[in-house]
Every structure is written in C-alpha cells, then in structure tokens.
Chain A
Amino acid sequence: MTINPELKYSRDHEWVKEEDGLLVIGISDFAQDALGDLVFVNLPEVGDAVTAGEAFGDVESVKAVSDLLSPVSGTVAEINEELLDAPEKLNEDPYGAWIIKVSDVTATEELLDAAAYEAFCAEA
C-alpha cells in the first residue's frame, strides 16, 4: 500500500489536497485496494452541496456499492467526468484520479497527515 506524503487523509479513507483555492478529493490506495476492482462511479453534479461526513457519491465494485463520504462541507466546483467511463482509473492511480473539487468550504473534518494515516490504516 502506498501513501502519498503530500496529502491529508480522512478516517473514511478519502484524500484531500488544496489546489488553486479548491479542495480536491479522491480515495486512498488503501480504499481502492479494499474495495476491489471498481466498475461504476456515481458522481454529484457541479453546484451540488456536500456535507462533511455525508455521502457525495458512490463507487461500485463487483462485491458491493460503497458510499463516498465527504471530508468537507462546501459546493461541488468540478467533477472528474473521465471516471464515469473509466472507473478503473481509481484503482490504477488513486492519487492521480481525483473525484471532485470543492469550493466555498465552510467546514472540514479533522484530517490526518500521511504518518498518522499510515498508523490509522495499520490498526484497521
């Protein structure tokens, strides 16, 4: 399992980074490995509100459908439409394949740095 040292992580295995005033959200390598090969991604629409701790979309593997839980509250500014046709990108390149970008962030969950996230995964 790899952990990108430059990102912050939620306890629900999403990663977060700041880029051009937006918060970019994806899922960690740990998450994609646990989910298995993904075959479908359900994304919100641009302009939708997201709430910290609540689902903003879901991903489907051959095993199960799992909610994507937002680590922040704000407004969806961009979605990665490429994932709709190629959900496997989340498996192949979890730290490259972002899912949504959020603007007007009003609240953020307490996030873990890479070292703390690694310890958190080791316990899981």
Chain B
Amino acid sequence: MNLIFEKSVKGRKCDILPKLDVEPVALPENLQRETAPRLPEMSETDVSRHYTELNKQVHGVNCGFYPLGSCTMKYNPRIDEEAAALEGFTNIHPLAPKSTVRGALEVLETLQADLCEITGMDGMTFEPAAGAHGEFTGVLLIKQYHDSHNDTKRTKIIVPDSAHGTNPATAAMCGYQVVNIPSAPDGCVDLDALRSVLGEDTAGLMLTNPNTVGIFDENILEITKLVHEAGGLCYYDGANTNAIMGVVRPGDMGFDCIHLNLHKTFATPHGGGGPGAGAVGCKEFLKPFLPHSALMDRPGRVQVRAFMGNFLVCVRALAYVMTLGREGIPEAATNAVLNANYLMQKIKGTFTPAFDRICMHEFVLDLSGYEKETGVSALDVAKSLIDYGMHPPTMYFPLIVHEALMLEPTETESKETLDWAADVFRKLYELGKTDPEFMHNAPHNTPIGRPDEVKAARNPIVRYTFA
C-alpha cells in the first residue's frame, strides 16, 4: 500500500479547527519556521481508509491467538478501560489541590492495600513509570538501607544468567557491581553457585519466580535465607507475577522488596511503548526509604516521577482487582498455568519442551534438535504460524535455550483455541520434515513476509524522502 505522503493531493483538506474567535497573535520572528511543514493533504475519508487499511495488516489479540511469551496478560477486560475513561479521573489537573481529588487518592490507597495483600508487602509506591523504573527505585531502597547502617562494603548485586536484561542494568545504574551466576540445568538457581558468591560484599539478589523459563524455583525459601544470612536483601522482579498472584506471595517467599508491572499483570494494554506503572512494594523495615509521593507525604525526600505517576494505569489495575476479587485473582493465575501446561502437553511428542516438567504460566520449546534434523529453525516455525492467523511465540529467548520458542497462552484462552493451536504446531512439525523449503519461505499469505531485520537495524530509514 502507498504511504500517507504518497496519497497526499495538493489543496485537499479536512479542517477540524474551530473558527478563530480571539485576536491573532504571531510568534516572535526568530521562532517562526521558514518553510511550511510538508504535512500530507487528505480528505477525512482518505485518512480514515488509510488507517483502516493499516489496521487490517496487523495482528492483535482481538484478531486471534497471541501466545507471545514473557509478556503476560494480553486481553484486557473492557470494564477496566471504562473505569480509566471516567471523566472524574481523566479531567483531574495534575496540580489540583489534594483536598479536591480525594477520589483519586482513594484509588491509590485501596490499590495499595489490595496489592500489599496480594504480594505480602507492607508498603507501596505507585510513582515509577514502568518496570525498569520500578526496579531502579526498588534497588535504591536496598542501597539506602545499607547506607543507613553505614554498611558501605556491600558493593555487589547477584543476578542469575537467566534474568531479564533489565536486572543487571538496574544494578549497574544503582552503582553496584553485577555478579552473574549460572542457572542449574533446570533453569533454576544453582545453590552451590549462589553460596560461592555470597559474602560480606553482597548487597542483594535480584530474582524472578517463576523464572524466565516459566519454572517455579522450589528452593526459593533456601535461596532467600542464604542471602539474608550473608546480610543481603532479596529483590523480587514481578515480571511473572501472573502465575502466582493470589496463590503464593513474594513476601512469604522471603523477598524484602518487589516491583509489579501493573501494565502486565493488572490490565493495561502494553507492548506499544506505554504508559505503564512499576509499583514498588517493600517490607516494613524498608518503608522509611520509599520516595515522596501523593500517597506518602515525605517532605525532603525525592520523588521519582512527577505528580501521581501514571495514574490511569493504577485505575485500570484497581478495576481489575476489584472485578476479579479474592476468588478471581487466584483463578486467573491458575488458569494461566493450566492453559500453559495443557498446551505444552498437547504439543509434546512433536516439538520438545526445553524443560520436561510442570511449568507455570509459560513454557519453552527447544527446536535445536529439530533444526539439526530438518534445517527448519525456530524462526521458520514462527513465520509459518503467521499463515494460520496465529501470532508467533517469543523467539530466541531466553538465551540459555538454543532455537527457543517461548509460549504463553494466558488465562483468557479457551480449550478450543488451545486445541486448535496445538494442531497447528503438530501440522508444522510434520511439514518441516517433508517440505522444509516451504517453511523457509513462510509466511506466504501476508502483505510483508520477511523484512530484512539486519538492514533495518544497520541502516534504518525513519524519515520520508520527498521527491
């Protein structure tokens, strides 16, 4: 299809500006541009058709199955959007006096109480803008805690090699040295490796449980105990909270400080660049180090984000928690886990699970053997799925599995959808053995098949060149 600039016709318009009813004021001459901006000139019909055409070329969760892994909930209930669109919330001015926005504060207070209960924490801030910002804030709590004890010899943060890349980045941004420890063959923490790096210089450990390959680390109590005995604190990356919410609590696992990606676990469309919210929770003894916020008046302490953070994400989260309730929250988690295990068992016998054991909310297929046998790679399978109207799983992640496909069906998918998806995987498994060439060239039915990712990364063209 043509670009919007190519559809532009000189002089065509769709005016949407109201008539000027005040005295016109010109900008100072030095601020005026010398040439007119080259905006596309189109009618309203043309604009509407252009974007509808674009919309037809993408695949979203409203179009079909979307088992992208390490991504958590995809379908966001409409009621949460409705709550966030209420005018009483959307029309608040950020500088409105606190006494006039009691309702908004009540949202945060209620959400704080509910999420502290779900996670086993005692205090929480909703200021951080998203996950990485939450991690940064959380690890700074740990740093301040050690500083407050004049315990300056603690310079290292331990991160397992299966962690999300943001964990080591966070630790480094906070001024810590990152100590990577290898995972055991089952993707869990290797206790001996952990013991060997613990010591007087340990500031803390960053961990997500279930871990990045979708397995619940059964040694978690031993892990947090070892870190505490060495004098370090335990940080919980809430990336995978969907699998455990309402069932087990990070606070009971021995974690001192956590972040939740409200946009991943509590209903906000994500993956498009935001906004998100990285709520940070902590145990009682870390509460004095929480930042200043609308919820907690801490004159003199820094605020990590302006005003109330990304407030409307918190409204969606509260709507989600309140509509699901005490029974619904654990039910969503158990459905996410059940769906992942069901799909894994249905696919097993064709593509091989990287870890053949009960998984949590997601699982990883290891296609390295299949690739050696047939020449069909994880990428080829992912591309072939698109022809069936399925969004590909996450590819080549986590890095500890070669030729990885990571599937996360989520809590909202029906048995029929999962059966259909498993059938598609089984068909492709057979197809790769008989016609690998067909799969090397997939997808066959899409407007764009295999964009040159290397060229796009090396020589990105992000600006239209006018003729």
- Which A residues are closer than 8 A to B by beta carbons? 37, 39-40, 62-65, 87-88
Whether B399 lies near A62 (C-beta < 8 A) is no
Whether B454 lies near A62 (C-beta < 8 A) is yes
Whether A37 lies near B165 (C-beta < 8 A) is no
Whether A88 lies near B458 (C-beta < 8 A) is yes
Number of contact residues on B: which range applies? under 10
Whether B454 lies near A65 (C-beta < 8 A) is no
Q: How far is the CA of A45 from the CA of B454 in the complex (A)?
A: 26
Whether A39 lies near B458 (C-beta < 8 A) is yes
- The digit string for B354-396, where 1 denotes a CB below 8 A from any CB of A, is 0000000000000000000000000000000000000000001
Cβ-closest chain A residue relative to B177? A54
Q: Tell me what chain A mostly uses at the interface: helix, strand, loop, or mixed.
A: loop
Query: Cβ of B453 < 8 Å from any Cβ of A?
Result: yes
Whether A37 lies near B396 (C-beta < 8 A) is no
Whether B399 lies near A64 (C-beta < 8 A) is yes
A71 CB → nearest B CB, Å: 17
Whether B457 lies near A62 (C-beta < 8 A) is yes
Whether A62 lies near B165 (C-beta < 8 A) is no
Q: How far is the CA of A9 from the CA of B165 in the complex (A)?
A: 27
Q: How far is the CA of A31 from the CA of B98 in the complex (A)?
A: 58
CB contact list, B49-98 vs A, under 8 A: none
Name the A residues within 8 Å of B399 (CB-CB): 64
Q: Which of B396, B453, B454, B458 contacts A64 (CB 8 A)?
A: B396
Q: How far is the CA of A40 from the CA of B456 in the complex (A)?
A: 12
Name the B residues within 8 Å of A64 (CB-CB): 396-397, 399
Would you mind naming 13 contact pairs between A and B with Cβ atoms under 8 Å apart? A37-B454, A39-B454, A39-B457, A39-B458, A40-B457, A62-B453, A62-B454, A63-B396, A64-B396, A64-B397, A64-B399, A65-B165, A87-B458
Sorted from nearest, which 7 A-B pairs have the closest CB atoms?
Answer: A39-B457, A37-B454, A62-B453, A63-B396, A39-B458, A64-B399, A62-B454
Name the A residues within 8 Å of B454 (CB-CB): 37, 39, 62
Cβ-closest chain A residue relative to B396? A63
Q: How far is the CA of A21 from the CA of B142 in the complex (A)?
A: 45
Cβ-closest chain A residue relative to B178? A55
Cβ-closest chain A residue relative to B397? A64
Name the B residues within 8 Å of A37 (CB-CB): 454
Which of B165, B396, B397, B457 gathers most chain A CB within 10 Å?
B457
- The digit string for B136-166, where 1 denotes a CB below 8 A from any CB of A, is 0000000000000000000000000000010
Name the B residues within 8 Å of A65 (CB-CB): 165
Q: How far is the CA of A62 from the CA of B397 in the complex (A)?
A: 12
Q: Beyond A63-B396, A87-B458: 4 further Cβ-contacts under 8 Å?
A: A39-B458, A40-B457, A62-B457, A64-B399
B253 CB → nearest A CB, Å: 29
Q: How far is the CA of A37 from the CA of B456 in the complex (A)?
A: 12
Q: How far is the CA of A27 from the CA of B295 in the complex (A)?
A: 52
A104 CB → nearest B CB, Å: 22
Name the A residues within 8 Å of B457 (CB-CB): 39-40, 62
A32 CB → nearest B CB, Å: 13
Name the A residues within 8 Å of B165 (CB-CB): 65
- The digit string for B451-467, where 1 denotes a CB below 8 A from any CB of A, is 00110011000000000
Cβ-closest chain A residue relative to B399? A64
Name the B residues within 8 Å of A88 (CB-CB): 458
Q: How far is the CA of A62 from the CA of B457 in the complex (A)?
A: 8
A79 CB → nearest B CB, Å: 20
A36 CB → nearest B CB, Å: 8
Name the A residues within 8 Å of B453 (CB-CB): 62
Name the A residues within 8 Å of B458 (CB-CB): 39, 87-88
Name the B residues within 8 Å of A87 (CB-CB): 458
A120 CB → nearest B CB, Å: 17
B24 CB → nearest A CB, Å: 49
